[in-house]
Structure formats: structure tokens, C-alpha cells
Amino acid sequence: MTTEPNRSRGAHTRRADPVLYGYWRSSASYRVRMALNLKGVAHKHRTVHLVRDGGQQHAPDYLDLNPQGQVPTLVHGDHVLTQSLAILEYLEEVFPEPALLPGDPDGRARVRALCGVIACDTHPLNNLGVLKYLVSMIGIDDDAKLAWYRHWVGRGLDAFERLLAGSDDTGRFCHGDRPTLADCCLLPQVYNARRFTCDESNWPEIRRICAELDTISAIRDAAPENQPDAD
């Protein structure tokens, strides 16, 4: 999806539009798409299909860009950025309006902590590479794989729910009444949890916030099913 470019780029207006290498179902790519869309940053999409051709993330040309063989990768001018949290922080600095981090140190720390619950502790245990390893190398069956997925996602989102419910800083969204980077991390993880039919009954605040996020057209446009490579 391409949106109108942000007009507050400063010196960065001279660079070409960012190019996002990603995959429609990648939750890490989804995080970055949400931030780009919320900021109104025009960008180009390049598909890296994680399943086709044995996984296009392993192709030599792509490994030259991202030696980890993961998505997303953001190319902006002569800069190549990897790791979704680093990309989100970069976008916040280069395209500062609208802000996706609060203006106060305490608020920024809280939002970054919520991001970490998802991106550092929950998602790494249930991503495609881990699930494939469990099946191909350890030999677990589909039922055991599903139990693994639901356990670790449930543990992470249970903690996220408690952090939301226990804070006066939670508003319409994860922090206050405007989307932040925490929302960019939360919604993709919930999308995947729903794919694996996780029990959402213990997550009333999470469900409420995700419903609010779904009212924003820029966020709906970032959804996996709305990507050009969706299959």
C-alpha cells in the first residue's frame, strides 16, 4: 500500500522513498507496515516469500541485504536496516510526525517495554523458523506444535494484558489515546494468535484495543490480507 508522503521529513526528503522487503504474514513486517502507514510515509514493497522456493529469505541476493535471512528489511537511500524494533525507532526519528512514542521519558519507556514483551519475548518463540524446527528436527506432530504455540503466545499476551489493565496510562490504545509503537507490535501478534485459534477470553483490554485499531484505515491497509503478495 502506498500513502501520501509525510511532509516533515527535513533533510530526508532528498532520499528516495523507503523500500520494505517483507512477507504478508510476517508479524514483524506487519509492525513496520503499520508504522509507515500511520506516519503517511510513501514506500515501495518487495516480497520475500518465506515459504516459496525453499524460502526466498535464504537466497544469496537477499542474504547480502540481511545476513540473518529474516524479514523485514528496510532500505532507505543508502541505508539498509534490519530488525523491526530498530526500524520502528528509525522511522520515529526520520519521520517524527505523527509521533508513535510519547513525549515524556516514562511514557517512552513504558511503550518500549510493551514492545519488548511482544517482539523480544513472545514472537521469537512462535515464529515460522522455530515452528519448522520443532517439526523437522525434533519431530513433534501438529497437535504438539499447536500446544507449543498457544502456550507461549498465551503466556506473553497474558502478561501484556496485565500490564494494560494495571496502568492508568492505558487509554483508547496501549498508551494514551493515540496509537504508539506498542500498538504496532500488539496487533500483529493478536492476528497470529487468532490464526492459531488461541483462547482470547483472558484478554479483554487487548481485544478492546485491537477493535479500536481496526477502525483506522491506515492500519486496516497494513493488514496481511490487504498486501499485494497475500496468497
> Do 80 and 57 meet the contact criterion of CB atoms below 8 Å apart?
no
Domain boundaries, given as residue ranges, for the chain: 10-98, 105-220
Query: Quick one: CATH architecture of 10-98?
Result: 3-Layer(aba) Sandwich (3.40)
Query: Quick one: CATH architecture of 105-220?
Result: Up-down Bundle (1.20)
pLDDT tens profile 147-178: 999 999 999 999 999 999 999 999 999 999 99
From the CB of residue 215, how many other CB atoms can be counted at a distance below 10 Å? 9
For the chain, where are the alpha helices, taking DSSP H only?
Answer: 27-39, 60-65, 84-94, 105-116, 128-133, 142-165, 181-195, 204-213, 217-221
Model confidence at 4: pLDDT above 80: no
pLDDT tens profile 180-204: 999 999 999 999 999 999 999 999 9
pLDDT tens profile 47-95: 999 999 999 999 999 999 999 999 999 999 999 999 999 999 999 999 9
Strand-pair partners of 46:
21
In the prediction, which pLDDT does 2 show? 33
Q: Give the pairing of strands 44-47 and 73-76.
A: unpaired
Q: Look at phi and psi of residue 228 and say left if phi exceeds 0, alpha if psi is from -120 to 50, else beta.
A: alpha
In the prediction, which pLDDT does 16 show? 87
| Average pLDDT across the chain, whole number | 93
User: Looking up cell 497470529, which residue turns up?
Assistant: 192
Model confidence at 14: pLDDT above 90: no
> How far apart are the C-alpha atoms of 84 and 167, rounded to whole Å?
26
pLDDT tens profile 111-139: 999 999 999 999 999 988 899 899 999 99
